[in-house]
């Protein structure tokens, strides 16, 4: 799941927890909303930490590669 999916999961959870006034027998939509928001937030944190590990920032480049090609005429 990418960052967009996590944000959508969080948004759906917030809608269920705060904006919906439905009452279903056997299902507490407030709790379902809070669980979805927690899952979305956890997904964003995990995705951000994996992205930070994958992309080094602020490190100097150790090696410069220079490529030269020489062509001899016919």
Q: Would you kindly state where each structural domain of the chain is located, as residue ranges?
A: 3-54
21-54 tens-digit pLDDT = 888 889 999 999 999 999 999 999 998 888 766 6
Which band of pLDDT confidence, cut at 50, 70 and 90, is reported for residue 59? low
* Cβ neighbours around 59 below 10 Å, total: 6
| Spatial CB neighbours of 23, under 8 Å, sequence gap ≥ 6 | 29
Q: Which of 3-12, 16-25, 51-60 has the lowest mean pLDDT?
A: 51-60
Looking at residue 7, its pLDDT comes to 93
Q: Give the Cα separation of 25 and 6 in Å (integer).
A: 28
pTM above 0.75, yes or no: no
């Amino acid at each position: 799941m990418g960052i967009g999916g996590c944000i959508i999961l969080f948004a759906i959870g917030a809608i269920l927890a705060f904006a919906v006034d439905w009452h279903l027998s056997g299902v507490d939509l407030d709790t379902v909303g809070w669980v979805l928001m927690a899952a979305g937030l956890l997904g964003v944190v995990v995705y951000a930490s994996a992205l930070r590990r994958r992309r080094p920032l602020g490190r100097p480049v150790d090696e410069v590669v220079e490529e030269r090609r020489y062509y001899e005429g016919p």
